[in-house]
């Protein structure tokens, strides 16, 4: 299933417009903050779909039967671009376990690239709800590769993928590899350049959040 959170106007469409805006992008703190806020909305929407249990809570005046999350999810992200969204998710799922995967595009001379995974730190994911955040779902190859590693740590009960922007080709690629996952996106664009950038997109999310890097 794919949920485009821009199908209806809400605060998220305002934040998406800001992260796309070449002028507003100069404010790096605002860019990160908007990614956090978009992740917060995704977290809230995803929370409505998660298993819950009833719990008796003692208040100063009596007992209230409340609905609470059955189990905390595992929050996973792809470094470095995913860090801001990860913080946004942690604000809401504040007792979650966390997985960090560092993935980068290793460019070939002909302009093509492969995804290389370096650092991986992942809890047991057996029968857990896994929510993975990545601001840009472009080709989908880093997400699919990351999910393969997450599956090495156990078979998740559910997988949710949250991204600020996604493109149609990437969504289709991820859906073929992970047909049961739900993809939550701030918005969806149709075009992808030969170098794997989303158009109109927003540019390089990692550079905009944390500064330009040298290609190694």
Question: Site residues (CB under 6 A) for ligand URA?
Answer: 81, 136, 138, 196-198, 201, 204-206
Q: Judged by CB, which is closer to ligand URA: 147, or 205?
A: 205
| Residue 100, phi then psi, degrees to nearest 5 | -125, 130
Q: Judged by CB, which is closer to ligand URA: 85, or 129?
A: 85
Q: Least distance from C-beta 199 to ligand URA, angstroms?
A: 8
Look at residues 143, 194, 140, 145 and name the one whose alpha carbon lies nearest to residue 169: 140
Q: Least distance from C-beta 69 to ligand URA, angstroms?
A: 31
Q: Which residues contact 203 (CB under 8 A, 6 or more apart)?
A: 22, 25, 197
Cα 195 to chain centroid distance, Å, stands at: 21
Q: Judged by CB, which is closer to ligand URA: 82, or 156?
A: 82
Enumerate the β-bridge partners of residue 98.
Answer: 75
Q: Least distance from C-beta 197 to ligand URA, angstroms?
A: 4
Q: Least distance from C-beta 131 to ligand URA, angstroms?
A: 19
Measured in residues, the chain has a length of 216
How many other CB atoms are found less than 10 A from the CB of residue 84? 26
Q: Judged by CB, which is closer to ligand URA: 75, or 136?
A: 136
Enumerate the β-bridge partners of residue 135.
Answer: none
Q: Judged by CB, which is closer to ligand URA: 100, or 197?
A: 197
Q: Least distance from C-beta 22 to ligand URA, angstroms?
A: 14
């Amino acid at each position: 299933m794919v949920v485009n959170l821009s199908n209806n106007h809400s605060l998220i469409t305002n934040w998406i417009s800001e992260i796309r805006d070449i002028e507003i992008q100069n404010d790096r703190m605002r860019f990160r903050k908007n990614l956090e806020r978009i992740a917060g909305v995704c977290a809230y929407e995803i929370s409505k779909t998660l298993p819950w249990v009833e719990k008796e809570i003692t208040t100063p005046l009596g007992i209230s039967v409340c609905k609470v999350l059955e189990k905390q999810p595992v929050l996973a992200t792809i470094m470095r671009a995913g860090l801001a969204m990860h913080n946004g998710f942690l604000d809401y799922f504040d007792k979650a376990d966390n997985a960090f995967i560092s993935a980068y595009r290793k460019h070939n001379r002909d302009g093509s690239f492969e995804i290389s995974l370096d650092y991986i730190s992942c809890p047991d994911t057996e029968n857990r709800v896994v929510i993975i955040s990545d601001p840009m779902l472009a080709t989908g190859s880093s997400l699919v590769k990351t999910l393969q590693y997450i599956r090495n740590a156990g078979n998740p009960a559910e997988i949710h993928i949250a991204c600020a922007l996604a493109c149609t080709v990437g969504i289709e690629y991820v859906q073929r590899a992970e047909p049961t996952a739900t993809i939550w996106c701030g918005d969806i664009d149709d075009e992808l350049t030969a170098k794997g950038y989303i158009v109109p997109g927003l540019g390089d999310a990692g550079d905009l959040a944390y500064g330009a890097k040298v290609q190694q």
